[in-house]
Amino acid sequence: RGEVDNAAFARNTALSMLQYAKQSDSDHFAASEGALIAYLTTRLDRPTYGLTHDEVSSLLTQANISPSLAQQVVSLLNLTQDGRFGPAQLGDSVEGVLDQTERLIDELEWEFEQ
């Protein structure tokens, strides 16, 4: 039961963070990264902030997440970092990053439950 509660907590917390970011004037890239990292930390039951993207990918595949979905997580983390720290030429990426993060969390949740 605790694992189910943890899973629901992880997803609900991340989605709440994304919803807040959609309704506010916050940095969408930072919000997406924060929501995804918070979700992964709770779902993997270990801190994921500060890990390399290869380490995150490895943890996901160890948790039976498909390599292609693990790669999507890494790609999104790269996008959020580029958006936060890179040149401001990402255009449409800004608008879709929150929705992309939400879809990715839903896909991860489905695979975690398999």
Cα separation of 101 and 36, whole Å?
A: 7
Low-confidence residues of the chain: pLDDT under 70: 1-4, 87-95
Domain ranges of the chain: 2-112
pLDDT number for residue 86? 74
The per-residue pLDDT for 32 is 95
DSSP the chain: -HHHHHHHHHHHHHHHHHHHHHHSSS-HHHHHHHHHHHHHHHHHTS--TT--HHHHHHHHHHTT--HHHHHHHHHHHHHHHHHHHS-S--TTHHHHHHHHHHHHHHHHHHHHT-
Tokens of 43: 């779902």
pLDDT attached to residue 58: 96
pLDDT of residue 3: 60
pTM score of the predicted model: 0.86
pLDDT value of residue 68: 97
